[in-house]
Amino acid sequence: MSAGIDHSQTPHGQAEPAAKAMACWLDCLGNVMESMTQSRAKVASQRSPSNHMQEGVSWWSQSLSLLEQPSFWIGAPAASWDALGRVTLSGLGVDEPSDSDLQATCRDLIAQTSASLASQLTQQSGETITSGDSLPVGAPDLGRALMFLWTLDVGATPIKGAVVWSGAFLDHCARFMSEAPLSETGTPEAAPAASDSPKFAGLNMGAIPELDLRVKFVLGQTTMLLRDVFKLNVGSVIVLDRSAVGNADIVIGGRIVACGQVVVVNGNYGLKIKPYQEAARH
């Protein structure tokens, strides 16, 4: 168990980026949980009053491309990790998960939350930040670190844990987080850009032609149990619900807008859109 530190010795300028980083992390965790369980959990945090490490906490270190060493650590008692995994898997239709299923689910939650946090930090800093490995570790050293306690309210018993932010990570974030105001959700927001384009119902109409839309070509799909997904490895074969010579769907914004035939153009995959009548039959 690591010794606590006196808050009066906290390096100047770290408290604000730590609070904003924590707000971002909580928002990302809530988004990831919602995507898996289809319900929004209540999340909250507070600065640890003593920076004192509790016993019986299992920790994961998380690296970001900003530093060679871990940027922060996520910890919780075994009962909280177990409850977090069960709540998530229950939302995915798995009612009797194994211990390995629970551990893999918690690891996936941490990885997805960290990837989302890295994306938010990229937007705020203007530099590309990516997330690295999430690894089980011992209790972190609290030398120049700041600890926050978090609570995830998903039922009768709240799930509780802690996040420890490294001093080196906070020093880096202080360069851009200190100037970013917090939004109503607690995440730092970017300053609005001025525009002379006409607006309709508060929307900038001039920006519409410049919007980026993610276009997906869907060759097929299937349904798998989560425990079967965990067993996938190099060389595993997943059989889809569509013939190899069948049409592929063109999906924009979650809607199928057309279908087409898969072709190869200059060594790259492409899609030849089919006539409307044939697409309608498809």
Which residue ranges make up each domain of the chain? 7-177, 212-281
At the fourth CATH level, the homologous superfamily of domain 7-177 is CheC-like (3.40.1550.10)
Counted residue by residue, the chain has a size of 282
CA-CA distance, 101 to 80, in Å (whole number)? Answer: 15
Asked if domains 7-177 and 212-281 share a fold, the reply is: no
Please tell me the CATH code under which domain 212-281 is placed. 2.30.330.10
User: How confident is the model over 108-152, as pLDDT tens digits?
Assistant: 888 888 988 988 888 888 888 888 888 889 888 877 788 999 998
pLDDT digits (tens, 9 = 90+) for 238-268: 888 887 777 888 888 778 888 888 887 877 7
What is the pLDDT at residue 209?
A: 64
Examine the pLDDT at 200 and tell me if it is beyond 60.
no
Contact status, residue 1 vs residue 139, Cβ threshold 8 Å:
yes
